[in-house]
Structure 1
Amino acid sequence: MIYLDNNSTTRVLPDILDAMLPYFSTAFFNTTTLAGALYDVARPLSEARERVAELIDCSAEEIILTSGATESNNWVLQSIARHSLRQTGKCHLVVSAIEHPSVLQVASYLAETEGRVEVDLAPVSCEGVIDLAALRDLIRPDTALVSVMLANNETGVIQPVAEAAALAKEINQDCLVHSDATQAVGKITLSLNDNLRDVDFLSLSGHKFHGPKGIGALFIRSGVDLAPYLYGGGQQGGARPGTENPALAAGIAKAAEIATMHLDDRRLESLRSSLEAALCALGVTVLGGGARRLPNTSLLLFEDLDSEMLIHRLAEADFATSSGSACTSGSDSPSHVVLAMGINYSSASGALRISLSHETTQNEVSEFIDVLKPLAQSLKKP
């Protein structure tokens, strides 16, 4: 299969798998036991925090290992909301309209169940970029948290998070800022000590940059308090209790190390450009094409075509693609991201996402184009 769905997950690379294997077999001990101490099985945990910190330019002490970005996002939103409710009896959250469901659905859940939790959605432009003027109007003196993703998982559009964070602090110095950076980490250079210095929390998942599934991280800026989301143990200083997994930690550590060699991959951008140029000749629209994007991501809109049918036909031809977020696959509704960009409901069903990796070749892209062109033509609605 030619795999063009790398924003949903990536292949665990051989070197990464090799780094993990000893901790499933010979060094399988619990990190908190004497055997674990004798075999130093906790070492991958500290290495994971160090390598991830290097990748996003922060201190290793500011990294907490989690099961992935969904847990990290839930942790931030739920803990901040409940803290605000305890302190003031109310809570105001602002999130962008194109967030991943692990942010949007949590915000919606809090508004529906907690009482006195208000949620405002910040709109985006037709290119899928958050509207900073609209965001300014939404942030209030009592806003507890602003959450804006660093790069959208469907369009690949990179959001002005640094500007949004600075804006939030300007209006309300006590407002905390969170960014779901799941799609951006490992693909573009970012710095929590430089351009993202006003971001308080940042979420990521290892399986988006060739690490294993089931491990990610949450950056918590030094000096910022975040109540634990889980209780029942002293691991990671009590911030995130639960038996630690050295194998997964070794995997994300190695993945973070390798990812530093592929940041801002110009070859990927060139591959994507050749793909888009060939398909635009068919009348395909590149959503977010006028904005700064991740080098590997292309969201294509086919008029008069049901992309789900196209995806299935491509799968039969041994090509893996998607219509958007893997977490909403199987839904009958068009992508909320595409709708937020102003695309009408019927047209939005024609969105096809192509996401490359540094393993993708020019031959694979060329073969995909050759297969896609006649398929798209044959599936057009009459």
Structure 2
Amino acid sequence: MALLAPLIAVVAAVVVTSLVLMVAGASVGDFWSLIFTAPSGRSWVNIINQTSMIFLAALAAAIGFRMNLFNIGLEGQYTLASYTAALVAGAAIFPGKLNVLVALVVAVVVGAIWAGIAGILKVTRGVSEVISTIMLNAIAITLVGYLLSNHGQQYGQGRRTPPLPDSSRFEGWQLFEKTDGNVWTLVLLAVVVGIGVSVLINRTRFGFDLRATGANEAAAVASGVNVKKMIVISMLLSGGIAGLIWMPALFGQAGYYGPTFQHQLGFTGIAVALLGRNRPLGIFFGAVLFAWLSEQANKLQLQAGISPSIVQITQGVVVLSVVVAYAVVQRWRAIAEQRALRTALDAGVTPEGVSAA
């Protein structure tokens, strides 16, 4: 049963994507051949780096989902946090690596505050976090665009924040040849945050209260959980992690906030959180899958004349298939358990886990 849902999802994704390719007049064989071709050294580096940011985004979304909160505002939270952190780091107020640490703290605080607005609105005014976070997305993106346009440095055809000093950059590690680029140092940040979130959710009282509230709010209230407090803290925590999403790229390669900023990571994180069932280990594999598909998509247009947009369809089908497959398998499991219970009772046997009358 545990393997059935992912298997159904994979088969469904392959079938639907192949049908889309045939309708579009593209070669199904060429598509799957390129997707599953072993990546080059540079592609592996890109996959690792992208996985770290997608993983952080999905962890931020998962915190809210486990609490039964839909933090749709990751995009605005990490955009505003990235701009602010780049501004602080570019100002070089602090020396060396202390400058990096301060910028990371600023990113966490800004992301948490922006998400906390939605949490406070929910517990004080009853405003749905879905509506408020979507509106906050628009406000954050517009605000950053305005500040960058009016106060940023001219850079080519666009504008940017002041570049980071050399002492605040992390060159990362070379896994392959020098021309293949570096794995960013702050990829380790994603590992640390992943372990921290796993311990927090599964090994602490706060994590138990969070899971209990998400599963059954009425039961959580009856057991003494302050639901309003949990909502605010969960949104702050989700936003704080969201603030870190682009930090590996900022200090590993970009060096400033500007034209190189990568959008849509927040929305990708939401999809990967659903794909990974809001568990850090599942999220990790989902992040690797999405990073793999995105990197391999770069070859499609050049080598097979297939639009890379097909990969976005594949990603969407994978997420939808997983959600549907898990729902179907859970229903099958419930039916099987009821049938086994009925059979045991008819035979006069007390099933395991059921106390005798």
Per the normalisation by structure 1, the TM-score is: 0.26
Which has the bigger relative contact order, CA under 8 A and spacing at least 6? 2
The structure carrying a bigger helix percent of its residues is 2
The structure carrying a bigger strand percent of its residues is 1
Per the normalisation by structure 2, the TM-score is: 0.27
Larger Rg: 2
